[in-house]
Amino acid sequence: MNYINRQFDAYKDWAQTTIDTLATGQDTLNQQILDLQARNEQNVADIVSTFNDQLAASQTSADEQIASLQNLMMQQDQQFQQANLAQQQQAAAAQAAYEEQRRQAEALSRAYVPNMEPTVSNLTYGSNRRQQEDENANLLSSLSMLTPSSSVSPTLAGLQIA
């Protein structure tokens, strides 16, 4: 029986050692799990912080773009209004010019013309224009021509105004 007690005690010691080892291993595993959870929580916090920063930057950029587009839209609207006003003014001026032409044409249609002007169907022969041109051309008759001679040097030959 002594042998059995020793065997039982040895088995009991071995079981206790195994239990202690497993308990120590469990404590180590629990500590590792806690460490991993802490690191994961920190990583998640970093990721959330980075995401929030990027979201805020994106929102700021989008707000700036929206403001820029609104300014551009306002400028285009103002340009459209100016162009529309200019077009209306041009249309009013064109309408006024048309009314003036219509008024003049109506007045001319009622006008009395006693003698018609000469036209292609009523040819007039002769003109006094050529005579007037000849009279104007004679105003330059004070020009004289020099010809080279033995007493005049060849560099003085040519047209001279008197």
One digit per residue, the tens of pLDDT, for the chain of length 162 reads 677 777 777 777 788 787 777 777 777 878 888 888 888 889 889 999 999 999 999 999 999 999 999 999 999 999 999 999 999 999 999 999 999 999 998 888 887 666 655 565 555 555 555 555 666 665 555 555 555 555 545 555 555 554
Q: Please say whether the beta carbons of 136 and 120 come within 8 A.
A: no
Instruction: Compute the distance between CA of residue 39 and CA of residue 20 in angstroms, rounded to an integer.
Output: 28
Q: Which amino acid is at 162?
A: A
Tell me, yes or no, if the pTM score tops 0.75.
no
Pairing of strands 143-146, 158-161: antiparallel
Instruction: Compute the distance between CA of residue 129 and CA of residue 72 in angstroms, rounded to an integer.
Output: 66
Q: Which residues 6+ apart lie within 8 Å of 160 measured at CB? A: 143, 144, 145, 146
Quick one: pLDDT at residue 83? 96
